[in-house]
Amino acid sequence: MRKRALITGASRGIGAETARALAGDGYDLVLVCRRSINRLEELKKELEGTYDICCQTVLCDVSDAGQVETMIKQAGEIHVLVNNAAISYVGLLTDMSIQQWHDVMDTNLNALFYTCRLVIPQMVQRKAGRIINVSSVWGNVGASMEVAYSTAKGGVNSFTKALAKELAPSGIQVNGVAFGVIDTDMNACFTREEMESLREEIPADRIGSAREAGEMIRQMLYLPDYLTGQMIAMDGGWI
């Protein structure tokens, strides 16, 4: 039986490239996004046609615990969970509404609790499984004008390390990757000049690609079992 991976935020960017990378390795996929069902269906068609795998597409707002519970029931057996869905808020903390704060926390951090608590029991029963949480370098060092995002990603880092200790006796590997600046739609809020300024700070002298990020996540599935509870930075030497 082929293994199945569930990827949140799979309709574009890092999530879509992760799907392509895992499909290339023969994984069946459960592709999850909040609203872009047309993109998700196009990706499903591409991957099934190219790699001869099975894809399931699910609309789910991962910030909603009830929707996540329904989605996990529909997904069935999951061997790999990639928590990738995220949103950002760029602006002064004092300009941020309480609802905007909750939206960032619910999507970027609470969603990990919602997905993991429901997938873990089947992984424990099998004594095997892989959970990969997508984070950011801002979770390590913080970013001005992105306090909520930085806070949530810092929580992702701690969540990953603590859960890895909890699940290691059951043979389940939990790791995360903290990305630097990656060329995705999340950065569309920045001007060309701002992105160029960021590029100049990066020793690799370029912005990372979503394809590289997806490949990084794929490679994390093949780490030695003894490597767990780690946040691996991929940022071109920036931070």
pLDDT digits (tens, 9 = 90+) for 115-148: 999 999 999 999 999 999 999 999 999 999 999 9
Distance CA 161, CA 40 (A): 31
Catalytic residue among 89, 149, 222, 226: 149
Query: What is the topology classification, in CATH, of domain 4-234?
Result: Rossmann fold (3.40.50)
Instruction: Name the residue among 67, 83, 80 with its Cα closest to residue 155.
Output: 83
Distance CA 205, CA 180 (A): 12
Q: Where are the domains of the chain?
A: 4-234
Q: Mean pLDDT score of the chain, rounded to an integer? A: 96
* Model confidence at 186: pLDDT above 90: no
Q: Show Cβ contacts of residue 57 under 8 Å, excluding neighbours closer than 6 positions.
A: 31, 32, 37, 40, 41, 44
Which pLDDT score is estimated for 191?
Answer: 86
- What would the pLDDT profile of 50-99 be if each residue is shown by its tens digit? 999 999 999 999 999 999 999 999 999 999 999 999 999 999 999 999 99
Tokens for 105? 């926390």
Catalytic site includes residue 89: no
* This prediction's pTM: 0.96
Instruction: Name the residue among 129, 107, 132, 115 with its Cα closest to residue 216.
Output: 132
Radius of gyration of the chain (CA): 17
CA distances from 222 to 5, 103, 108, 194, 218 (A): 14, 33, 25, 36, 8
CA distances from 29 to 7, 23, 106, 187 (A): 8, 7, 24, 26
Mean pLDDT value across residues 193-218: 95
